[in-house]
Amino acid sequence: MSAIPVSHTVRNIRVVLILFGLALLATGAYVLTDEVSPKRYIGILTWFLGALILHDGILAPTIFGITLVFRRLQQKIPAVVIAIVEGALVIGGIIALIVVPEILKKSIGTLSSSILPQNYSLHLAVFYVVLFLLTAVAIGIYARLFARRQKLRPPTDQD
């Protein structure tokens, strides 16, 4: 199996992006060691492990499974619609990873009512409703444009 040839420009862009990412990691490590008390490292590590488990153990396999089902239905569902739904699933999953810990912490309780003052469960539900509606609108716009394109296309089976 041969590798796909990559242009010199693409290779340079990749190198720049990798170096930029490494610089961000180094900056984050410096800020962590400079400004965060070592007593808090265990809590941060626990948070990262939880995020890794949620992402790699739940979110990614779920989205992959849904994508697999959609890909098998590709003869019935256009690829653009599948891509729109996949994008919505990824956005919804990322927001869940951000908001669910706040919901859990609020349910446990905090030392001050001003730490988590919002109703995060309600906000997450509203976000999902809006995401669902925007996804439906995007699919509707695509379907309408596709139908219009089909009407403008001349028939291929002229006698």
- The pLDDT-based confidence of 12 (bands split at 50, 70, 90) is very high
pLDDT at 155: 64
- pTM higher than 0.85: no
The mean predicted confidence, pLDDT, of the chain is 86
Q: Which residue in the block uniquely carries the two structure tokens 């790699």?
A: 56
Q: What is the Cα–Cα distance from 143 to 157, expressed in whole angstroms?
A: 24
CA pair distance 13, 100, nearest whole angstrom:
36
| pLDDT of 138 over the 60 cut | yes
Query: DSSP string spanning 35-102?
Result: HS-GGGHHHHHHHHHHHHIIIIIIIHHHHHHHHHHHHHTTTTS-HHHHHHHHHHHHHHHHHHHHHHHH
- Whether residue 90 is predicted with pLDDT greater than 90 in this model: the reply is no
Q: What is the mean pLDDT of residues 75-102?
A: 86
pLDDT the model gives residue 156: 65
- Per-residue pLDDT band for 26 (boundaries 50, 70, 90) equals very high
